[in-house]
Copies of this chain bind each other. A is one copy, B any other.
Amino acid sequence: MITKSVFGNAIFSDKISVALGNVQFPEGPTNLYQPIRYILSLAGKRIRPQLVLLGADLFGDTPIDEVVPASVAIEYFHNFTLIHDDIMDKAPLRRGQETVHQKWNDDIAILSGDALLIKAYEQLAQCPAIVVPSLLKTFNKVALEVCEGQQMDMDFETREHVSKEEYVNMIRLKTSVLLGGALEMGAIIAGASNQERSKLYRFGENLGIAFQLQDDILDAFGDPATFGKQIGGDIIVNKKTILHILLKQELDVADFALFTTILEMPASKSESKIQQMKELYQKYAVLDKANALKEAYTRRAYASLDEIEVENRRKEDLFSLADHLMNRAR
């Protein structure tokens, strides 16, 4: 069962749900295909496949059926990364349900993830033959960068120091390039020029960075009623978020000692840990700095979309989606 999403353009959302629901996986081996059906049934917002359709729509009236397979490919790829990342992160839950490696085991999660990645390429191969080589190049580039980002994320966990630039580059690779790539693939199918494709890619890439920075900010400063996760979760596990990194580079000697003490506080004192860390964030105006950085990337994203030479009415859906993601009113 594919749960219907109402995120983004409603017509596109329906198309994606139908397309995802229509793909038949072989019955067996059960341990290979059942985990794939399972992860795809834990419907997320389906934002990435939307981006492919919106990217194509921006440049004209390409028949939607020529775009849908690339849109499904991107959603498959995203779910492949979730299966494998969850193994590496030892995550027990995904979208409120058991992760694949938890429900089955690591071996099955490795192999069904592999199969889902190949299934993504199978979808790509169903796009019009004339655009397949170009789609393949963009998809490969982005897919490899996502792997690089995931490796950096893991490397950063055990590293003493991570700079702001390194951190932004990591989130760019791990999450943002896929948003840019999804949009660009839509543009490729619609026959956009290289220049327009690049502008659209940069819109997605910068918006993705801004969104990820916002996620870091909300984890500490979000509204508990709407955030959906425990406020301060990142602080409890000493995650090197943008707030953590911006704070660390500003601390004076005395506060650095305090910072180190806070990092070493045990799980039993998490309330106090969160509070003390947030006091340091306030003292060093870290929230303002993080918000400024987020705004800079948001502006770059919007500017890039502005520059694309198509009628403004065609950009409405993408601006709305960006507003929605960045909690902006226009």
Contacts and interface: CB of A to CB of B under 8 A. Distances in A.
Contacts of A117: 114, 117-118
Given A136-B125, A137-B125, A29 B144 contact: no
Interface in A84-141: 84, 87-88, 106-108, 110-111, 113-115, 117-119, 121-122, 124-125, 129, 132-133, 136-137, 139-140
Interface string A23-38: 0001011011000000
Interface stretch (A61-69, A147-155, A200-208): A147-155
Nearest to A135: B125
Nearest to A31: B151
Q: For this complex, into which size category does the number of interface residues on chain A fall? A: 35 or more
B140 A29 contact: no
B110 A29 contact: no
Contact of A29 (B32, B136, B148): B148
A242 interface: no
Contact of A32 (B32, B87, B107, B151): B151
Nearest to A136: B125
A87 B115 contact: no
Given A107-B154, A155-B29, A155-B31, A121 B147 contact: no
A125 B133 CA distance: 6
A286 interface: no
A143 interface: yes
Contact of A87 (B28, B110, B136): B110
A147 B115 contact: yes
Given A87-B107, A111-B154, 18 more contacts: A28-B148, A29-B148, A29-B151, A29-B155, A31-B155, A32-B151, A84-B110, A84-B111, A88-B107, A111-B147, A113-B114, A114-B114, A114-B117, A118-B140, A119-B144, A125-B136, A125-B140, A133-B133
12 contacts: A29-B152, A31-B155, A84-B110, A84-B114, A87-B110, A106-B106, A111-B147, A113-B114, A117-B117, A118-B140, A122-B137, A136-B136
